[in-house]
A and B are shown apart, each in its own frame.
Chain A
Amino acid sequence: MSQAEWPLFEVFIRSKNGLNHKHVGSLRAADEEMAIQNARDVYTRRSEGVSIWVVQSSLITASDPQDADALFEPADSKIYRHPTFYDVPDGISHM
């Protein structure tokens, strides 16, 4: 039965030129072309997009939530990467 199942695709939509493609959801389709067609019907019925990307879900590599601390915590301690870390004397502008 599962042999006849269509693969799962993730769908990304650019809502208008100038903006990034954004993940909107997923769907099943026999191939990429059908995935684009289905994505058009499912995710852009009200002019939500001007461009669609589809990619088979199985091709995506994701970070493990369990590793979130190791991956992202180092950034938390490096506050000097933000402009607010620095003192700017009164009277200085355009900085």
Chain B
Amino acid sequence: MSQELSIEELEKRFQEKIDAEIKIEPNDWMPDDYRKTLIRQISQHAHSEIVGMLPEGNWITRAPSLRRKAVLLAKVQDEAGHGLYLYSAAETLGADREETIDDLHSGKAKYSSIFNYPTLSWADMGTIGWLVDGAAIMNQVPLCRCSYGPYARAMVRVCKEESFHQRQGFEIVTKLAQGTPEQKEMAQDSLNRWWWPSLMMFGPSDADSQHTAQSMKWKIKRNTNDDLRQQFVDITVPQAELIGLTIPDPDLKWNEERQSYDFGEINWDEFNQVIRGNGPCNKKRIEDRRNAKENGKWVREAALAHAEKRKMKKAV
């Protein structure tokens, strides 16, 4: 029925589909590298959602009010959901769930460098929602149009949920910025610590990004790292100004000609160090994830044994 096509012909047809904005679905033919690139990107994304729960989880028991606590819990629960949508999307490409997670635990797989910074004050809960979720939204909105169907659909769900994350964070920062001098100081200190790591979230500069060109051709990515970073700066600077906080960048200034902000040089050395595992919390994060898996093992096994037993009973 289906005549044997050469790889070149299959690749050509594949690219034509992509160019025509036809989504690729799990059982469709796809080049090995497309599959590999997606598995790498989606699982990294999933890991980031899961590891991203840890810095915020640090403050759940110390939230300053019941309202803040309920909100933070709901937010962190959402992140667990995001991780799950994404692991499921990776599985549609043939990635093994357990292997994917083991790759995180062995240090083989990466996750967003931002989550290797510590959450030192309550203000960090605000700043993370505002900047980190803000940057995540900027990255994720274009992914809703990603050429791979299951990833795009997962991103649509994620993006719907993210806007509450950013708003609750901005609300916390705003309250602190308008509070006592000590509270305002706390908000400013938090912004000082998170600003640059947030800009690094968009990844290496386009000139140094190995995957960008091919990913754009395959419509996995729609914008370059530098593009998105610039958009983020342009959107965020006026927000900081409005609540009376100062972006910790002496080189930041409006460029009339470009209708955009110029900003200072990112410390790529720091970025590379954190990516390589030498950030302030890398070891702790992986250790926490490993322990969670190890300590929950008996529960997963018991649930399976219980399910098995019930099936036997029903069969009798």
A residues with a Cβ closer than 8 A to B are: 1-2, 4-6, 8, 25-28, 30-31, 34, 41-42, 45-46, 62, 64-67, 69-70
What are the residues of chain B within 8 A of A6 when measuring CB–CB?
A: 300, 303-304
A10 to chain B, nearest CB (A): 10
By the criterion CB–CB under 8 Å, are B1 and A26 in contact? no
Q: What are the 3 closest A-B residue pairs judged by CB atoms, nearest first?
A: A31-B307, A30-B303, A30-B307
Q: Is B272's CB within 8 Å of the partner chain A?
A: no
**Could you say which of A2, A45, A66, A70 contacts B78, with CB atoms under 8 Å apart?**
A45
Dominant SS among interface residues on chain B? helix
| Chain A positions within 8 Å of B74 at CB level | 45
Tally B residues with Cβ within 8 Å of A. Answer: 31
Query: B307, A25: Cβ atoms under 8 Å?
Result: no
Complex CA gap A4/B306 in Å reads 13
Residues of A within 8 A of B25 (CB): 65
**Is B88 in contact with A27, judged by CB distance below 8 angstroms?**
yes
A70 to B153, CA, bound (A): 28
Given contacts A6-B304, A25-B154, A41-B81, 12 further A-B contacts (CB under 8 A): A2-B98, A4-B297, A4-B304, A25-B88, A25-B153, A27-B88, A30-B304, A31-B306, A31-B310, A42-B85, A45-B77, A66-B1
Please, which residues of chain B bring their CB within 8 A of the CB of A31? 303, 306-307, 310-311
- B27 and A65 within 8 A (CB): yes
Given contacts A4-B300, A6-B300, contact A28 B27 (CB under 8 A): no
Residues on B with C-beta less than 8 A from A65 are 25, 27-29
* A-side contacts of B300, CB under 8 Å: 4, 6, 30
A8, A26, A69: most-surrounded residue (chain B CB, <10 A): A26
| Chain B residues closer than 8 Å to A4, beta-carbon distance | 297, 300-301, 304
Q: Within the assembled complex, what's the spacing in Å between the Cα atoms of A66 and B96? A: 24
Q: Which A residues are in CB contact (< 8 Å) with B85? A: 25, 42
Can you give 5 contacting A-B residue pairs, CB < 8 Å?
A5-B98, A26-B91, A31-B303, A65-B27, A70-B1
In the bound assembly, the distance between CA atoms of A70 and B27 in angstroms comes to 16
- Give, as a whole number of angstroms, the nearest-CB distance from A4 to chain B: 6
Chain A residues with Cβ below 8 Å from B84 are 27, 42
